[in-house]
Structures are given as structure tokens and as C-alpha cells.
Homo-oligomer: A and B are copies of this chain.
Amino acid sequence: MQLVQGFSRQRDVSFVRVSLGYWRGMVQHGRPLKQVQSPPPPDYVIAQSVEPQPILEVAKAAGLAPSELDLYGQFKAKVRLNVLERLRDAPTGRLVVVTGITPTSLGEGKSTTTVGLSQALGAHLNQRVFTCLRQPSQGPTFGIKGGAAGGGYAQVIPMEEFNLHLTGDLHAITAANNLLAAAIDARVFHESTQSDEALYRRLTAKGFSPIMLKRLQKLGIEKTDPKSLTPEEQRRFARLDIDPETIAIRRVLDTNDRFLRSVRIGLAPTERGYERLTGFDITVASEIMAILALATSLADMRERFGRIVVGHQRGTGLPITADDLGITGALTALMKDAIMPNLMQTLEATPVFVHAGPFANIAHGNSSVLADQIALKLVGADGYVITEAGFGADIGFEKFMHIKYRAAGTAPRVAVLVVTLRALAMHGAGAGVRAGAESNMVRHIENIRKFGVRCVVALNRFKDDTDAELATVIDVARRAGACDAVVASHFEHGGKGAVALAEAVVRACTASTDAQHDVPRLLYSLDMPLEEKVRIIACEVYRAARVEWTAEARRKLEKLEQLGYEKLPVCMAKTQYSFSDDPEKKGAPEGFVLPIRDIRLSAGAGFVYPLVGEIQTIPGLPTRPAFYDIDVDVETGQILGLS
């Protein structure tokens, strides 16, 4: 049968020709907004005021064949990974990563800038462009934050699809993560309540499945007939003997449910007292999400799932993996559609991939490697892919380089650093931009330059900002090493408001390269000890004086090294509100001691994450949640009130 979704090896040669025709000017890339209102109305009103292009048209203009798409309604599509095969030998475009200074709790418009810049490049400068965004958690949409599709006249549409179910990828992650969690506790329970013999007999009643043979190999048992194992081999095969205290997989929900932060499970009589304290995280904090974001193919994703460490064996302390549980294939089955990037569009009809959204705190906070890679092939040598990195550059950009770039192999040409006067004022000593208020921006610029990446500062203009203040900041930015700094007003004006920014980005991408300063480089190598990797990030990026490990963290660090995980990169779990571990330390603090309280493993995603202070992994609902405003017009089916 023809594949439902996936990886047909057919190539449609005639289509390649047709799509190249598009690139040669048959279709303009994007479509400028006809008019904007001032001041801009609420986000959902703007989003619903623009008729989206049928996604099939957006896809064609982007160089995708209809056979490479799975439509999800008229305005969303999944893009099959076989497009990468068709474009294997195509040249790769220019990657631009959007990051920001240390943010306020209101956000400084990083997504909005990512979208606005794309609209400017595509619909105004007629460049080939693709935007790659993270899919937001659905939880905050109903809580405090509202949507994350950009804002004002720089948005991804339909914004209600973007902010709610999209094509179900987050739901697939919830399902996969929770199947894994349920399987762990059920296995512990069954092992605790059954004899070796009964356990082995039930496990092998249908013979050895392929994944069971993999476990036998790992155990060094070279047999394929269940009857041929010695009682000792049977016991080693059947008893994972996971220490419940070491279970590393928490359950997840894509809901802001504070009462699930810490829960005691297994209290029903049927669980016979095998109760346990655990908790729920928000879905985007799942390791399954981090894996989705870093996987380079379906096979790679499956391999990574298999490596997930779910806990450690009693006594030996050996890691027990998803492969040992026999669940790798089922996780892959649940995630096989989610691995395909989701195609949407901006208000100005430029193409957007929305794909993966790992928690920027305990994971790496960047959209998927696959979306970037497909987009880079689709835009071609002279095109632009604008991708966003979560939080400030100390977190999102550092992880973009050390984790995502390392996994994907594609370096950014330019980093766009988003700055607002509002945030600078917070980093200064109170209201207004005073001397020293730019210190935070200056340090982020310096950091980006350390990685050998050019920096363009995008100064998002708010209505009360004065020209003089803006000019000061631009001047400081240039002197600090930014190759350019420009004011942008895409929130109010759409792509038109970001044309100067787009031009600066084009210049930065195409200017001749200074081999010494403009070659992307990493600050640590994987061969260094984990402790040294942490030290380099803490001292070079955060500018801590030194790192202090708790005894518990050091014990875990040593165990990770013993178990052979010392070659992994590190993914710091730190507050986004300061370079330091203290969210109150604004500006550019230095000389502080960075405490490491704990260090954990995401073996499937392929990193360890040291915890700097408390990280909240499931938000709550405020007294007056955003859901009060959300409704559906039952006559038209339109969603109302999303911001």
C-alpha cells in the first residue's frame, strides 16, 4: 500500500522543475499587508482580519510538492521528511537565529521579531525566507501568558490553531511520555508481586519480540528460544529491578495544573501499597520533546527513545532504558507523525515551520533541527531561515550553539539580539535608560561574538520610547561589537516596520567574513570533563567567579561519569531573569558564585542538565485566568478572545 505518511522514495522530477519556476519569480514570496490600524487592535482581531492563503499555495510557493504534504484542514500541513531526500544535493540557505537580552516577565517580543523580520524579508525585500518557531505549550494560553504566535501585525496565522492543538504534536508527546511512565510503575509492580518464574513465563508467552532480543544481547545472552535460558538468565532478563527512588520519568500534562507538581500515586487498593511520591511536569518539559527537537530522522528519533534512562537498577546502579522496558517501538509509533514539521504562514503569507518546543529551562529551548534543515534546503543558497532560541542569549543562544548546532551541524550566519528600552530600564537602576542600563545588552553582544557569530541588534520600539534614547542604545550596541543595530516596529506596522532590520540582516549575512572573528566556534569540547563544561559556561557566558557544587550534585556527577555519560554536552537549568542564579540580580552581575544543586540526565536527548536553583516545571493558573476571555462564536465557529 502507498504510505499513509512518511518516507516514499519516489522523486517527482517534473515537480522539481515547476518549483524552481516559482523561485525564478513566478510567485512573489509573501504578500504585504494592505493596511494596518493604529493603534493595533487585539491580536486575535488582527489575525482574523487577514484571509490566510490556502496552505497548499504557501507550500507550492515554498517549493514543496503536494505529495510531500499531509494537509490538516486548509491552513496547516505536515511536511514529510522525504523532502530532505529530494533536496539532498540542493544548496543550503543562510541561518539567522533570533535571541534576546535578559527579559522582563512580559517578554521583549522575540517571537514577534522573528515573524516580523521574516515578513520584511519575504513580502517587502522579496527574499526567499522561512521562519522556524517553537510550538508553545497550550497550558499558558489559558493561564497568564496568552498565545505565542507573535503579536500585533507580526503573527503566525491562524493564531488559534497555532496556540491550541495545532496538529497534535504536543498531545502525542503527552501520550508517549505517560505511556512510558505508566510502563515503569506497572513493571515495578509486576516484578514486586510475581515470582521469577511467573514473570518470565508471562513476558515470553508469545516468544521473544525483537526488542526483547535486543535486551538479551545487552545482557550477553546469545539465545533466541525462551525455553533455552537458564533460571539465572531468565531472572536477569525478566527482572529490571528498578529502584523506585531512582525513577527519572515524571508524568506530563499540557495544562497549568499546580496541584500536580507533587503527587503521591498508587493509593488505590489494587496497587497493594506500592505508593510513591512523584509529580507532573508541563508537556514541553518532557524528554520526549527534547528528543523530537534534536532528532535528525525517524531512525535517529527511535534510537534516542531507546536510550532514555528511566531509572537505575537496585544494587548495581546500572541504568535501565526504554529499550529494556520494550517500549521504544510504541513510543516511535506514537511520535511518527509528530516528527514531521508543521507548515503555517505569517500575516504576510511567508512560510513558517512550527515544530517542537522544548522547555527552555530544563531542556534546550530551541525549535526542531529537522524544521531548520528542511527550511534551509527549501530557501536555497540565497535564502534565509529565521529561527528563534528561547529566553535570553545566555540560555537560548548558548544552547543553540552548544547543543542544537552540535546536533544539526548548521551554524548561524547572524544572531539577532532583541532589545527593548523597557527591559534595559529594568536592568538599569529604575525607570528610564540611564548610564549602565545597557550593560546587560553589551554583555550579550560580547557573548555572541565569543561564539564567532555576527550580531545584529533589533531594538523593538514601544510607543513611549524617545528617539534620543533609541539612538543612545544603537550607539552603545555598535561600540560593543554588534555589526549593526536598528529600530524595528513590526508589531505596529508588520513587515514594513522591520525592513531596516531585514536589510541589516542581509548585509550581515553577505558581508565578507573576517576569518578570525566570524567563524562559528564552541566554547567547550565534548572531551572535557562535565565539571569543566559547566565551569566554562558559568564563567565565560554568565561571568560567575566560580561554580559551587552541593555534595549531592557532586555525587551524581561522579555517577554520571562512571556510567559513561561524560561526553555529553550540558544544558544548564537556570533562571532566565538574570545572568546569575538570582532573578533579582539585573544588569551584568559578575563575581558571583553559581551553585549547582543537582545534575540530571537526558540520555535520549543527549545532554545532562545541572540545576541552578529551583526550576518550576509546571505553572499554575492565576486568580483570574485568561480562559475567562476565551469563547467560540457558535454561529461561525470562530474562536474569540485569544491574545
| Contact of A260 with B by CB under 8 A | yes
Which one of A202-210, A310-318, A390-398, A521-529 contacts B?
Answer: A202-210
* Size band of the interface chain A makes with B: 35 or more
Asked whether, in the complex, the Cβ of B254 is within 8 Å of the Cβ of A629, the reply is no
Asked whether, in the complex, the Cβ of A632 is within 8 Å of the Cβ of B298, the reply is yes
* CA gap between A1 and B329 in the complex, in Å: 42
Asked whether, in the complex, the Cβ of B165 is within 8 Å of the Cβ of A634, the reply is no
Selected contact of A259 from candidates B185, B258, B625, B639, CB within 8 Å: B185
Q: Chain B residues near A172 (CB, 8 Å)?
A: 165
Asked whether, in the complex, the Cβ of B628 is within 8 Å of the Cβ of A4, the reply is no
Which one of A70-78, A403-411, A433-441, A442-450 contacts B?
Answer: A70-78
| A636-B185 CB under 8 A given contacts A205-B624, A258-B270, A264-B263 | no
Asked whether, in the complex, the Cβ of B165 is within 8 Å of the Cβ of A165, the reply is no
| A212 CB to nearest B CB, Å | 7
Query: Which of A174, A186, A251, A327 gathers the greatest number of chain B CB atoms within 10 Å?
Result: A186
Given A263-B263, A336-B632: 7 more A-B contacts, CB < 8 Å: A3-B636, A165-B171, A182-B256, A261-B271, A268-B279, A330-B630, A333-B631
| A492 CB to nearest B CB, Å | 21
A537-556 contact mask (Cβ, 8 Å, vs B): 1 or 0:
00000000000000000000
* CA gap between A453 and B160 in the complex, in Å: 45
Selected contact of A255 from candidates B4, B50, B168, B179, CB within 8 Å: B179
| Contact of A569 with B by CB under 8 A | no
Which residue of B is nearest A337, CB measured?
B165
List 20 A-B residue pairs with CB atoms under 8 Å apart, sorted by A's residue number.
Answer: A7-B637, A70-B73, A72-B72, A142-B330, A165-B175, A168-B171, A179-B255, A181-B257, A186-B259, A199-B623, A203-B623, A203-B624, A206-B624, A206-B629, A209-B628, A211-B628, A270-B620, A299-B634, A330-B627, A333-B632
A349-378 contact mask (Cβ, 8 Å, vs B): 1 or 0:
000000000000000000000000000000
Query: Which of A164, A175, A251, A330 gathers the greatest number of chain B CB atoms within 10 Å?
Result: A330
| Contact of A135 with B by CB under 8 A | no
| A261-B270 CB under 8 A given contacts A4-B160, A7-B637 | yes
| Contact of A28 with B by CB under 8 A | no
Asked whether, in the complex, the Cβ of B7 is within 8 Å of the Cβ of A636, the reply is yes
| Contact of A217 with B by CB under 8 A | no
| A44 CB to nearest B CB, Å | 11
Q: Chain B residues near A264 (CB, 8 Å)?
A: 263-264, 267
